[in-house]
Amino acid sequence: MTATFAFGTWYGYAHQPAIDKVLKVENKTNPASLQNVDFSLFWDVWNRLEEKYVDKSNLDRQKMVFGAISGLVDSAQDPYTVFMPPREAKQFQEDIKGAFEGIGAEIGLRKGVLTVISPLKGSPAEGAGLKAADKILKVDGASTANLSLDEAVRLIRGEKGTQVTLTVFRDGVDHAIEIKIIRDTIKVQIINTEQKPNGVFVIRLSTFTESAALEFRKAVQDFFESGSKKLILDLRNNPGGYLTVAVDIASWWLYPGEVVVREKNYDDTEDVFRSGGYKLLQDVPTVILVNEGSASASEILSGALRDSLGVKLIGAKTFGKGSVQEVENLSGGASLKITIAKWLTPKGEEINGKGLEPDVKVELPQNPEEEESLDPVMDKALEFLAE
């Protein structure tokens, strides 16, 4: 009888569901919406790890949970959908308020490779020679191959006065380049204006921050007061920003109610963002300068003016960041940044992962110091407006 009882006890334990073998873990029951999803393999692996892993003392159950969630989110294969444990979530909240120090460069993942979208004008990154489309292979000697976008950002950012070394690959260069950058407090100059010969006025917009709409209004006033008749909108190396600001700026060209951008949501509904209809610039001959560093709101504005008014894009293909993220606050201070929508131009062209092709493509010289022109893209724009 004793032997029979022992065998029965062993058999019962060996064949019980894996989830029941994992002790002292709360909330293991599937929610009602996931009752048809089989989690037995997950709990089986968890149990075997705790039972047989050689360094059990190194296992941290909270880290195991965070790791499992990160893997779940990563399976979406979207670099902008990420799980942030409490520490990273806190840093993210500080970053979006502008309270950060670093090198001053927007980065993203392109085909799984960490890539510079654009160095901000006047930033340490620009001063050290970092360029849009540079592929970052290493950060301080550590490979970026398996890093998420947020992990890479945390490595590159740091305290003012400290140094970070980026190993980058650049198209046209046959070897990796090491770029040493001293971190600093990042100050972004939103708009620069310049008068060119033959009645041409240039507005350089570096980012779509909350104050960019007001700054652009002042630039439009400067344009009219200058007596200029033609306009170049320079969005090169502009990584984007607020959608509402892009809509507001587009309104200086478009009629009331004209579509600026279409937003395709996760539930297959579509939101349409329309012009406020200031249209003071509608009859002003305009071209837009773009490159690999023009992303997000820059692509929205460029696509809207191209589709609705036939404004020409001059330069290089844009980055292709056309998605909307929402931050969900989770228990314990963690957060989930999740892509909830994609942007389409007024004519329905998808931006995300594709970018916008320029109407007039300008190939940059491999050795710009040997060229007579310091800015062949600007030269092409001036030539185009002179026709």
Q: List average pLDDT for each run of 10 residues in the chain, which is 387 residues long.
A: 53 54 61 73 91 91 92 91 87 60 86 85 91 93 88 89 96 92 86 94 92 95 97 94 94 97 94 96 97 94 98 96 90 92 95 95 67 77 93
- Residue 379: the pLDDT is 93
The burial of 106, by beta-carbon neighbours within 10 Å (0-12 exposed, 13-18 middle, 19 or more buried), is given as buried
- Residue 108: the pLDDT is 83
Residue 124 CB: number of other CB atoms within 10 A? 23
Q: Is 307 known to be catalytic? A: yes
Q: Is 55 known to be catalytic? A: no
**Residue for token pair 């350089």:** 204
- CATH fold of 101-185 reads Pdz3 Domain (2.30.42)
Q: Catalytic: which of 206, 228, 251, 296? A: 296
Q: Is 373 known to be catalytic? A: no
Angle between helical axes of 149-156 and 86-96 (0-180°, round to 10): 70
- Residue 172: the pLDDT is 85
- CATH fold of 191-364+374-386 reads 2-enoyl-CoA Hydratase; Chain A, domain 1 (3.90.226)
Q: Which residue spans of the chain are classified as CATH 3.90.226.10? A: 191-364+374-386
**Residue for token pair 């970018």:** 355
Separation of alpha carbons 34 and 51, rounded Å = 27
Q: Which residue spans of the chain are classified as CATH 2.30.42.10? A: 101-185
Q: Catalytic: which of 184, 234, 248, 307? A: 307
- Residue 67: the pLDDT is 92
162 SS3 class: coil
Residue 148 CB: number of other CB atoms within 10 A? 18
pTM here?
Answer: 0.70
Q: Catalytic: which of 131, 264, 321, 337? A: 321
